[in-house]
Structure 1
Amino acid sequence: MGPLIPNGIIGGGWDFVIALLIGIAFGFILEAAGFSSSRNLAGVFYGYNFVVLRVFFTALIVAMVGIMYFDCLGWLDLSKIFILPTYLGPMIVGGVIMGFGFILGGYCPGTSFTGLAIGKLDALFFTIGLYLGILVFSVAFPLFEDFYSSGSLGNVTLTDVTGIPASYFALAFTVVALAAFWGTMLIEKRVRKNMKQYKF
């Protein structure tokens, strides 16, 4: 049955409409989860708020297990799902840069628009910086174009790289997530206790 557009169940002209509706719903959920606050988002790096980790771990588990069930029931053709090509070196560097910006600004690109939508001033400055960064990247792209295309591994997944069956990988990932939930709860309690003690 799925994916709906590649299988012709929904016409290709609906892809942007569906993307817009999903984007609006995603933004609403981010705001409802408290992701429009840079304090909540940056809290994961300082140990006093791990809502980011919990929400995204939960989303990953639900999506992963859901896709596996859809595949088993014949509702989803996994061979038609687009997998982003992996460029190992550039992606590691990009992840480090994004993480550094996340720590400094308290937002990632998606959450900055969520904050901007409800009038957060810090989100406005972060978004301006985001577009300036895109501009600089576009202008300077010829200087590091070769690096940008290096380290290609193709359309691979973690199960391809590790050789672990998807069901075992999903189980292991779920156990790790549950352990992370428990561990971060303990860290939060300790850090918040210290913050109250020293009145930070």
Structure 2
Amino acid sequence: MGPLIPNGVIGGGWDFVIAILLGVAFGFILEASGFSSSRNLAGVFYGYNFVVLRVFFTALIVAMVGLLYFDYVGWLNLSQIFILPTFLTPMIVGGIIMGVGFVIGGFCPGTSFTGIAIGKLDALFFTIGLYLGIFGFSLAYPLFENFFTSGDLGNVTLMEITGIPAPYFAVAFTVVALAAFWGTMFIEKRVRKNMKQYKF
């Protein structure tokens, strides 16, 4: 059955409409989850708020189990889903750069737009910096092109790399996520207690 557009269930002209609707829904969920607040977002790095970890782990588990179930009952063909190519080294470097920016600015690219939507000035400045960075990288791309395409592993998944079947991997990932939920709950309590004690 799915994906719907490649299989002709929905016409190709609906792709942008669906993208807009999904974007609006995603932004609404981000705002409802408290992701428009830089304090909530940066809190995961300081140990006093792990809402980012919980929301994204929950989203990953729901999507992962849902895709496997849909594939099992024949509603979805996993082979038709696009998998982003992995360029290992540049992705690691990019993740570090984004992580540093996340800590400093308190936003990631998506949540900065959520902050702008509700009038956050810090989100506006973060987004301006985001576009300046994109513009600067575009100008300097010829200097980084070889590095940008290095470490190409192709369209691989963690299941292919580890050799673990998808259902077992889903179970293991769910267990890890539940353990993270439990562990971060105690970290939050300890850090918030210390913050109250020292009046941070």
Fold similarity call, TM over 0.5 = yes
Amino acid at match of 1:32: A
SS at match of 1:153: strand
Whole-angstrom CA distance in 2 between matches of 1:16 and 1:158: 30
Structure 2: any 5+ residue segments left out of the alignment? Answer: none
Shift of 1:115: 0.2
Matched with 1:73 is 73
| Deviations 1:20-65 (CA, angstroms, capped at 9, x unpaired) | 0000000000000000000000000000000000000000000000
| 2:94 counterpart of 1:110 | no
1:112 alignment partner AA: S
Instruction: Tell me which residue corresponds to 1:98.
Output: 98
Q: Matches of 2:175 and 2:81 in 1, distance apart? A: 26
**Residue equivalent to 1:10:** 10
d(CA) in 2 for partners of 1:190, 1:141: 45
Which residue is 1:198 aligned to?
198
**Where has structure 1 moved over 2 Å in runs of 4 or more?**
none
Count matched residues.
Answer: 200
Residue 132 of structure 1: CA displacement?
0.2
RMSD of aligned alpha carbons: 0.4
- How far the C-alpha of 1:13 sits from its partner, in A, is 1.1
Residue type at the aligned position of 2:19: A
- Taking the aligned partners of 2:151 and 2:6, their CA distance within structure 1 comes to 29
> 1:3 Cα shift?
0.5
State the partner residue of 1:20.
20
Matches within 5 A, 1:11-160: 11-160=11-160
CA distance in 2, matches of 1:149, 1:51: 34
The runs of 5 or more residues in structure 1 that have no matched partner are none
**1:168 corresponds to:** 168
**Aligned counterparts of 1:191 and 1:12: Cα–Cα separation in 2:** 50
Matched-pair identity in %: 83
Q: Secondary structure at the match of 1:144?
A: helix
